[in-house]
């Protein structure tokens, strides 16, 4: 059941607003490219990554958007404006831009409090369409609230709706201690999206299974993974990377990259590092003083993710790990490859991870990964070949796995090679965008052939064949 001031059903009882005629204005009568909308209500594609709530979704939308533009689409990426200082439109490349819509106060709002502003988001998006004289024939929505926006658009105009969840309430709520009040609404909306979208893009076979078993069997699902920029994240010289970062060859570097969020399991990693240090104190292989934990990501303690950062810092102090730990702060993708390369192992201790971009970035640089055996990580990391998978929360198994990689150089070298090959072959953004582009074209073609078949839509207008421009 949906709660609050939102409609309890989407699409059936609400008044039908007549769709506007697409491409009505002189400006767009002869479009050279097909414009599509990527919608990402909280994951601003133009935001600084690694700070507050900015993470994988922001990276995904931005990278997919730019790669789709290279394939011939006009890509308009919509997000919520969360600061009056942010530009309303950010032009990334000639055919790819971020458009920030005003929906609620222009300040950071935690995700669990954002849903109430989504009707305003829909209105702002429609106003933008009117102003530009366009109607997007296809929207790819990201995260459940954008999915709701997509369903609202679907109800008002003829639109092909593609959805990527990024995080699934049905899985997430099993892994967290506190269930927020928005949970029931989110679960209901996630089910509606699966049943109404023309296609849901699952980023791993595991996610597809979760959708089918935990959400609904009535969905149309394609598996298209997330990707990474393989020209940026690639094997480079470890010696050179360490030189640039001022890390000596003696140090054994354990790396964490990501947001400060409880479900990321940073605490497990800190405690595992402490266990490992105690074990090293018993042996002679590695000097415990040379064990270095680098924590990359997050912002200042007063920022939105500051509470978790403070909690983690307290645990580091309590375990007397201060000398072994560096909180590096946020690092841009331009320098992040240096950190991955300089590290001996990258650890992803998440309790829940829908995909986990960090895993493929690290592996692309040839860095072995120790990760929780959850979600997308079970698909991207091949245990014993590109890293090691261990049960989430399990401090001693994490310590053991990290220790194995740090102490077996020959094996670690083999893993490095296999890890980078796997990513280069399977997870490039270009490859991902080609698969998405094919999907979009298939759905747009279908909508022309059988306009009455629109899933979950009460809108009746159709597009004419002229309005679909071949995207590549």
If binding is defined by CB under 6 A, does position 234 make contact with ligand UDP? no
Is the CB of 163 or the CB of 259 nearer to ligand UDP?
259
Q: What is the DSSP letter of 290?
A: G
If binding is defined by CB under 6 A, does position 59 make contact with ligand UDP? yes
CA distance 73 to 100: 20
Q: Which of 308, 310, 328, 326 is nearest to 318 (CA)?
A: 310
Is the CB of 70 or the CB of 262 nearer to ligand UDP?
262
Smallest distance from ligand UDP to CB 294, Å = 11
Pairing between β-strand 387-390 and β-strand 35-39 as defined by DSSP bridges: unpaired
CA distance 466 to 30: 9
**If you count DSSP H runs as helices and E runs as strands, how many of each does the chain have, helices first?**
15, 14
If binding is defined by CB under 6 A, does position 257 make contact with ligand UDP? yes
State which of positions 39-58 bind ligand UDP (CB under 6 A): 49-50, 55-57
Smallest distance from ligand UDP to CB 358, Å = 4
Is the CB of 344 or the CB of 361 nearer to ligand UDP?
361
Q: Which of 61, 67, 18 is nearest to 40 (CA)?
A: 61
Q: Which of 466, 458, 435 is nearest to 199 (CA)?
A: 435
Query: Which 3-state string (H, E, C) describes 221-237?
Result: EEECCCCECCCCCCCCC
Give the residue, chosen from 99, 194, 286, 296, that forms a contact with ligand UDP under the rule CB under 6 A: 296
Query: 126 exposed, middle or buried (CB, 10 Å; 0-12, 13-18, 19+)?
Result: middle
Smallest distance from ligand UDP to CB 253, Å = 16
User: Interacting stretch for ligand UDP, rule CB under 6 A, among 194-202, 257-265, 425-433, 462-470?
Assistant: 257-265
Give the residue, chosen from 78, 121, 136, 355, that forms a contact with ligand UDP under the rule CB under 6 A: 355
Smallest distance from ligand UDP to CB 425, Å = 19
CA distance 183 to 116: 14
Give the residue, chosen from 45, 65, 150, 258, that forms a contact with ligand UDP under the rule CB under 6 A: 258
**How large is the angle between the packed helices 266-282 and 395-407, nearest 10 degrees?**
60
CA distance 414 to 399: 21
Give the residue, chosen from 330, 373, 468, 469, that forms a contact with ligand UDP under the rule CB under 6 A: 330
User: Interacting stretch for ligand UDP, rule CB under 6 A, among 236-244, 354-362, 401-409, 448-456?
Assistant: 354-362
Judge contact between 440 and 447, C-beta under 8 A. no
Is the CB of 316 or the CB of 377 nearer to ligand UDP?
377
Is the CB of 366 or the CB of 403 nearer to ligand UDP?
366
CA distance 310 to 307: 5
437 φ, ψ (degrees, to nearest 5) = -60, -45
CA distance 130 to 137: 14
The number of residues that bind ligand UDP (CB under 6 A) is 20
If binding is defined by CB under 6 A, does position 389 make contact with ligand UDP? no
If binding is defined by CB under 6 A, does position 225 make contact with ligand UDP? no
Smallest distance from ligand UDP to CB 411, Å = 25
Is the CB of 227 or the CB of 403 nearer to ligand UDP?
227
State which of positions 356-375 bind ligand UDP (CB under 6 A): 356-358, 361
For ligand UDP, the binding residues (CB under 6 A) are 49-50, 55-57, 59, 257-259, 296-297, 330-331, 333, 336, 355-358, 361
């Amino acid at each position: 059941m949906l709660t609050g001031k939102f409609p309890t059903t989407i699409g059936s009882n609400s008044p039908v607003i007549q769709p506007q005629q697409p491409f009505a204005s002189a400006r767009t009568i002869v479009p050279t490219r097909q414009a599509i909308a990527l919608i990402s209500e909280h994951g601003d594609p133009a935001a600084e990554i690694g700070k507050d709530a900015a993470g994988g979704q922001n990276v995904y939308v931005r990278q997919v958007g730019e790669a789709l533009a290279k394939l011939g689409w006009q890509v308009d990426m919509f997000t919520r404006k969360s600061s009056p200082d942010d530009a309303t439109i950010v032009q990334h490349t000639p055919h790819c831009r971020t458009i920030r819509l005003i929906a609620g106060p222009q300040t950071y709002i935690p995700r669990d409090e954002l849903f109430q502003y989504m009707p305003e988001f829909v209105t702002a998006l429609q106003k933008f369409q009117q102003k530009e004289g366009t109607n997007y024939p296809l929207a790819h929505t990201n995260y459940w609230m954008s999915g709701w926006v997509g369903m609202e658009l679907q109800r008002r105009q003829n639109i092909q709706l593609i959805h990527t969840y990024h995080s699934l309430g049905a899985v997430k709520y099993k892994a967290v201690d506190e269930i927020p009040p928005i949970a029931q609404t989110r679960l209901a909306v996630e089910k509606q999206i699966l049943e109404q979208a023309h296609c849901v893009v699952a980023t791993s076979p595991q996610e597809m299974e979760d959708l089918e078993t935990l959400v609904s069997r009535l969905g149309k699902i394609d598996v298209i993974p997330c990707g990474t920029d393989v020209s940026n994240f690639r094997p480079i010289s470890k010696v050179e990377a360490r030189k640039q970062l001022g890390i000596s060859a003696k140090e054994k570097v354990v790396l964490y990259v990501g947001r400060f969020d409880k479900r990321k399991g940073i605490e497990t990693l800190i405690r595992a590092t402490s266990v490992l240090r105690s074990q090293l104190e018993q042996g002679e292989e590695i000097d415990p003083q040379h064990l270095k934990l680098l924590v990359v990501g997050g912002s200042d303690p007063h920022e939105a993710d500051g509470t978790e950062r403070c909690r983690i810092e307290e645990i580091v102090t309590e375990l007397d790990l201060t000398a072994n730990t560096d909180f590096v702060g946020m690092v841009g993708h331009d320098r992040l490859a240096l950190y991955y390369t300089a590290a001996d192992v990258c650890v992803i201790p998440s309790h829940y991870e829908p995909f986990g971009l960090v895993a493929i970035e690290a592996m692309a640089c040839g860095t072995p990964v120790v990760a929780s055996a959850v979600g997308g990580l079970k698909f991207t990391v091949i245990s014993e070949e590109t890293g090691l998978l261990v049960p989430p929360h399990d401090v001693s198994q994490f310590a053991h796995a990290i220790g194995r990689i740090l102490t077996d150089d020959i094996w670690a070298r083999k893993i490095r090679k296999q890890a980078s090959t796997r990513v280069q072959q399977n997870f490039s953004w270009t490859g991902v965008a080609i698969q998405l582009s094919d999907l979009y074209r298939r759905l747009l073609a279908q909508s022309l052939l059988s306009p009455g078949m629109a899933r979950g839509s009460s809108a009746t207008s159709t597009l004419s064949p002229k309005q679909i421009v071949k995207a590549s």
